[in-house]
């Protein structure tokens, strides 16, 4: 049995301790907003926040995050988090998604990035590029991702 704190709730899961957080969320807890893309920390589709830090859940075993706060796309975009809400609204406003499969991970990376920055100091284009370079979008929505991150930052300023 592994005790996890997910989206502010304590959950106990009966999985092998080597099981990645990704598959624990998806298969054991039914939280399918976090996506499987590569299984090797190469594409970012599985990004969650562990104690606020953007983390690749596909290579993070549950045993490594016991007692730490895990936040998923479902919580970040439920409206209760001002940064997550701003990012979600910017994503809708800019019609970023095409297939949408990678966008949970994109939003989790963007949200962690904006939370890590001081308010009132808009990120530069180069900073946005660096923050989002780890997330692959095969549909090629990059131009709108750039615009949406900048817009979300402005709306939070």
Residues forming the site for another protein (CB under 8 A):
15-16, 18-20, 23, 26-28, 30, 32-40, 42-43, 45, 72-74, 77-78, 88, 91-92, 95-104, 107, 129-130, 132-146
Q: Read off φ and ψ for residue 69, nearest 5 degrees.
A: -85, 115
Specify whether the CB–CB gap between 83 and 114 falls below 8 A. yes
Least distance in angstroms from the C-beta of 53 to another protein? 19
Per the structure block, which two tokens stand in for 12?
């106990």
The residue among 7 and 115 lying less far from another protein, judged by its C-beta, is 7
Q: Which residues contact 22 (CB under 8 A, 6 or more apart)?
A: 34, 36, 46, 57, 58, 60
Closer Cβ to another protein, 19 or 155, answer by number: 19
In the chain, DSSP finds a helix count (H) and a strand count (E) of 6, 5
CB of 39 to another protein, least distance (A): 6
Report in angstroms how near the CB of residue 4 gets to another protein at its nearest.
15
Q: How far is the CB of 51 from another protein (least distance, A)?
A: 20
């Amino acid at each position: 049995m592994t005790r996890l704190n997910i989206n502010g709730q304590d959950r106990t899961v009966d999985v092998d301790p080597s099981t990645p957080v990704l598959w624990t969320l998806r298969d054991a807890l039914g939280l399918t907003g976090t996506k499987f893309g590569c299984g090797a920390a190469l594409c970012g589709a599985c990004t969650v926040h562990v104690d606020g830090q953007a983390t690749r859940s596909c290579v993070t075993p549950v045993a490594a995050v016991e007692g730490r706060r895990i936040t998923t796309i479902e919580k970040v975009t439920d409206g209760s988090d001002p940064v997550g809400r701003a990012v979600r609204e910017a994503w809708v406003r800019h019609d970023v998604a095409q297939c949408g499969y990678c966008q949970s991970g994109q939003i989790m990376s963007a949200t962690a990035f904006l939370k890590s920055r001081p308010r009132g100091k808009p990120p530069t284009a180069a900073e946005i590029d660096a923050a989002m370079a780890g997330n692959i979008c095969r549909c090629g929505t990059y131009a709108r991702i750039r615009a949406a991150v900048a817009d979300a930052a402005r709306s939070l300023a």
